[in-house]
Amino acid sequence: AAVSERICKHMNEDHAEAVVAYARHYGGMTGARAARLLRVDALAMELDVEGQTLRVAFDHALTDSEDAHRTLVAMLRALPS
C-alpha cells in the first residue's frame, strides 16, 4: 500500500498529463481532461477520471515497485504521439 501511495503521489504531482493519457488511451475515455491515479496493485491501476472510477489492467502481474515503474513508463512510450 505504501508503494502504491508513493507511485500515485509521484504520478499525480509530476506526471499529471501521463495519467490523463492512460485514461484516454488505455481506458477508452477519449474526452478526458483530468484524471488522478488512485491506486496501483499487481494487476492494474485505478484512476479517477472526472469523478468516474476506471481500472486499467497491466499486461502482466507486477512483481515490485521497479516493475511498476518500468511498466508505467513502457505504457506511456507505447502511446501514439
pTM (2 d.p.): 0.93
The CATH number of the domain holding residue 21 is 3.20.180.10
In total, how many domains does the chain have? 1
Mean pLDDT calculated for residue range 54-59: 98
CA distances (Å), origin 10, targets 13, 30, 50, 71, 75: 5, 23, 19, 15, 16
pLDDT reported for residue 22:
98
pLDDT cut 70: percent of the chain above it: 100
Residue ranges making up the domain that contains 38: 2-77
